[in-house]
A and B are shown apart, each in its own frame.
Chain A
Amino acid sequence: MILILWLCCAAGALSIQRFPPPEFETDHVIPTAAQPPAREGVFDLLDVAVLVAALSLASWLVLKKRSRKGVFALMLFSLAYFGFWRKGCVCAIGAIGNVSLALGDASYVIPWVVLAFFMLPLVFTLFFGRTFCGAVCPLGAIQDVVLLKPIRIPAWLETSLRLLAWLYLSLAVLFAVTASAFVICRYDPFIAFFRLSANPALWVISFSMLVIALFVGRPYCRFLCPYGLVLRQVSRISKFRVTITPDECIQCRLCEDACPFGAIEKPTVEWPRDEHPKGRKRLLLLMCLFPVFIAAGAFIGYTLHPKLASVHPTVQLANRVKFEQAGVYKESIDQSKAFYSSGQTLNDLYETANEKKQEFALGGAIMGAFMGLVVGGTLLSNSIFWRRSGYEAQRAGCFACGRCYNYCPQHRVWQKTKKLQMSETDG
C-alpha cells in the first residue's frame, strides 16, 4: 500500500516526482505516447497551386472567354475545394490578421502559404480586376449561389453600409497588430457551413447571413469584407477590366438592371450650369473639413483605447486581478486563479498590461484617424462628378461574375460570331 502525502498543491501543473519511478521485475517496457504528425507541408503547396490555377482560369473565363457558365462552374469548384474541403481556412480575408501580426510582433513569422493567399489575389486583381471575388473566394461563392431575388439598394445606402466594412478592417488590423485576436477568423460568418460544426452563436450568425444573402446580393462582400476593400482600391487601377460590352456600348439599356450587386453605372448627364457653383462650394467645404474628420477620428480612437485594450487577454486579466485585489470582486475566477499559481508578480502583470494599453492608445488614435480619413474620402468622392459615355461596370465594385454579359446584345453578337468562326475553321 502506498501512503498518500496530502500535499495540497495549487491546480497549477507542478510536476514533482512525488512517487518514484517503478522498478519492474518482469521485462515490461514503458510505452511512449503516440504523436500523430501534423498535415504534410506538400499539401500547402497543393493549396497554393490550386489557388493560382483557379485565379488564372477565372481571369481567362471572365475577360477572354466571357462565359458566365464557365465562371459559375469554377465558382462551384472553388466553393467545394476552398470552402468545404479545406474548411475555409486559411483564406485571403483572414490573412489580413496574419500580415498585421507579422508587422506588429517581431517573434511571429508569417507562414509562406498564408502570405501567398494574401498576395496572390491582390496581384491578380492588379492585372485583371476582382476575378478572385467572382469565382475563387468560397465566401463569395456561397453567397452568389444562394442568391434568389436581389433587392435594389440605393447608392447612398450602399456607400454608408460600406463604412461598416472599413470599421471592420480598422478593428481587425488593430486587434491583430496588438496580438489580441484574429477577429475576422473569429466571426467568419460562413465557417459554420464549411466545417459543419460550430457553437450556437456562430450557427445563428451563419444562418442569418445566408438568409440575408437570399435577397441581398453578396451582403458580406459588399458591406463587411475587409479584404474586399483592399481589392476595390487595387481594382480601380487594374490593367484589364470587365466590360459589359465586348465592343462599343450602343446604350440599349438592356443591362441596366442586370447586376444584382448594383455595380453597373449609367452614362452620365451633365449637371445643369447653375449647379456648378453649389458643387464647387460643397467640394471646398469638404476639403476644409477633411483634417477635422481625421482629428476627430483620432480623438475618438484614443478615448476608446481602454475599452479596446480589454480585448487583449493580459489586459483583461490585469483588470480582473486589480478589482479582486481591491475587493470589488470577492471570488477568483479560473483566469485569476491560474495567475496566482503561476508565480508571476502583480507588478509584472500590471506592467505588461500597461505596455499593451499604450500600444492601444497609439493604435487606437491611428485607427480613428484612418476612419476619419475614410469618412472624409467617402463624402468627397460623392461630390466629384464622373463622366461616363456608356454603361460601365464599376471599377471598384464589380465582382467579375459575368452575369451582365448575357444581357448585352453586342455580347450575343460577338458570341455568335465566335461560334461561326469556330465552325468555319472546323468545317
Chain B
Amino acid sequence: MMKNENSDNLDRRKFLKEGLWTGVLAALGAATAGLLAKGRKQKYVWQIDPYKCIGCGNCATHCVLNESAVKCVHAYAMCGYCDLCTGYFVPEPKALSTAAENQLCPTGAIERRHIEDPYFEYSIDETLCIGCGKCVVGCNAFGNGSLFLQVRHDRCLNCNECAIAAACPSQAFKRVPAESPYLMKEA
C-alpha cells in the first residue's frame, strides 16, 4: 500500500515537473514571438541629433574609448565659405591666419584652404579632432551652423548603454536603425 502511494507521489511530482518544464519552454517561445512581432530589426546605432546638441564638450571626455568616437563633421553645403569663420577663429583673432593662437580648435584639426577670393574651405581632420565641440559652438553662434558633432561608426563600439548619451545635457543622443545610420545636417 505504502509503495503504491509513494510511487503515485513520485509520478505526480514528475508530471508536475514535466508540465512546468513544457510551460517554461512555451513561455520562452511565446515571449520571443511576441517581441519579434513588433518587427524584425537589425541593430540600433547611436547618433547625435545635431539640432539638439549644445556643444558642451562631454563627447570628448565621456566616451568609453580613449579617443572619442564623436568627431566634428562639416555640412559643406550649408557653409558660407567665409574668410572670417567663427567656427575656425577665436572671437578676436590677431590675424586671419592659420597660426595656432588664432584657432579655436585646441588640436588644430580644422584645415583652412583658400579656394578663390573671398572663399575659404574648412575641412576636419578626423585623426586630430577630439570631439570637444568648440568649433560647433562658434559656428552656431555667429555662422551658418554647418559644423556639428556626430558619432562616427568606424570608431564607435555601439555600447548597449552609451556613456556619452547618459551624460548629454540636452538628451541629444538617440538610437537610429543601422540601415540608415547617420543623422546629418542638411541645407
Q: A24-B119, A186-B166 are in contact. Are A98 and B160 (CB under 8 A)?
A: yes
Q: A15-B145, A18-B143 are in contact. Are A99 and B35 (CB under 8 A)?
A: yes
Q: How far is the CB of A73 from chain B (nearest CB, A)?
A: 28
**Interface contact B42-A102, CB-CB below 8 Å:** no
**Interface contact B75-A33, CB-CB below 8 Å:** yes
Interface centre among A39, A90, A195, A198 (most CB of B within 10 A): A39
**Interface contact A335-B170, CB-CB below 8 Å:** yes
Q: How far is the CB of B170 from chain A (nearest CB, A)?
A: 4
Is A251 close to B, CB under 8 A? no
**Interface contact A181-B161, CB-CB below 8 Å:** yes
User: What residues of chain A lie closer than 8 Å to B50, measured between beta carbons?
Assistant: 13
**Interface contact A198-B80, CB-CB below 8 Å:** no
Q: How far is the CB of A1 from chain B (nearest CB, A)?
A: 7
Contacting residue for B76 out of A4, A33, A181, A314, CB 8 A = A33
Q: How far is the CB of A190 from chain B (nearest CB, A)?
A: 13
Q: A38-B158, A185-B159, A342-B52 are in contact. Are A30 and B77 (CB under 8 A)?
A: yes
Contacting residue for A237 out of B17, B77, B160, B170, CB 8 A = B17
| Count of interface residues, chain A, beta-carbon cutoff 8 Å | 77
User: What residues of chain A lie closer than 8 Å to B62, measured between beta carbons?
Assistant: 199
- Residues of chain B from 20 to 60 with CB closer than 8 A to chain A in the complex: 20-21, 24-25, 28, 31-32, 35-36, 38-45, 50-56
**Nearest chain A residue, comparing its CB with the CB of B140:** A13
**Interface contact A13-B54, CB-CB below 8 Å:** yes
Is A94 close to B, CB under 8 A? yes
**Interface contact B115-A112, CB-CB below 8 Å:** no
**Interface contact B141-A335, CB-CB below 8 Å:** no
Q: Which of A57-65, A115-123, A265-273, A372-380 contacts B (4 or more CB under 8 A)?
A: A115-123
Distance between Cα atoms of A102 and B175 in the complex (Å):
13
**Interface contact A109-B52, CB-CB below 8 Å:** no
- Residues of chain B from 138 to 187 with CB closer than 8 A to chain A in the complex: 140-146, 148, 152-154, 156-161, 163, 166, 169-171, 175, 178, 181-182, 184-185, 187
Chain B: interface secondary structure? loop
**Interface contact B160-A97, CB-CB below 8 Å:** yes
Q: A44-B43, A185-B161 are in contact. Are A197 and B145 (CB under 8 A)?
A: no
**Interface contact A9-B170, CB-CB below 8 Å:** no
**Nearest chain B residue, comparing its CB with the CB of A94:** B160
**Interface contact B74-A33, CB-CB below 8 Å:** yes
Q: How far is the CB of A269 from chain B (nearest CB, A)?
A: 20
Contacting residue for A11 out of B54, B115, B156, B157, CB 8 A = B54
Is A126 close to B, CB under 8 A? yes
User: What residues of chain A lie closer than 8 Å to B148, measured between beta carbons?
Assistant: 13
**Interface contact A14-B140, CB-CB below 8 Å:** yes
User: What residues of chain B lie closer than 8 Å to A32, measured between beta carbons?
Assistant: 76-77
Distance between Cα atoms of A38 and B130 in the complex (Å):
20
**Interface contact A335-B35, CB-CB below 8 Å:** no
Chain A: interface secondary structure? loop
Distance between Cα atoms of A234 and B24 in the complex (Å):
8
**Nearest chain B residue, comparing its CB with the CB of A122:** B28
Is B78 close to A, CB under 8 A? yes
**Interface contact B66-A16, CB-CB below 8 Å:** no
Distance between Cα atoms of A88 and B20 in the complex (Å):
33
Is A37 close to B, CB under 8 A? yes
Q: How far is the CB of B90 from chain A (nearest CB, A)?
A: 14
Distance between Cα atoms of A115 and B37 in the complex (Å):
12
- Residues of chain A from 105 to 130 with CB closer than 8 A to chain B in the complex: 108-115, 119, 122-123, 126
User: What residues of chain A lie closer than 8 Å to B74, measured between beta carbons?
Assistant: 33
Residues 4-45 of A, flagged 1 when their CB comes within 8 A of B and 0 if not, give: 111111011111111111101110101111011111010010
**Interface contact A182-B160, CB-CB below 8 Å:** yes
**Interface contact A195-B157, CB-CB below 8 Å:** yes
User: What residues of chain A lie closer than 8 Å to B132, measured between beta carbons?
Assistant: none
Distance between Cα atoms of A197 and B68 in the complex (Å):
11
Pick 8 A–B contacts, CB within 8 A, sort by A. A4-B86, A13-B148, A19-B143, A30-B76, A44-B43, A112-B36, A112-B41, A339-B170
Closest CB pairs A-B (n = 5): A19-B80, A338-B170, A334-B169, A185-B161, A15-B145
- Residues of chain B whose beta carbon lies under 8 Å from any beta carbon of chain A: 17, 20-21, 24-25, 28, 31-32, 35-36, 38-45, 50-56, 62, 64-66, 73-84, 86, 115-116, 118-119, 121, 123, 136-137, 140-146, 148, 152-154, 156-161, 163, 166, 169-171, 175, 178, 181-182, 184-185, 187
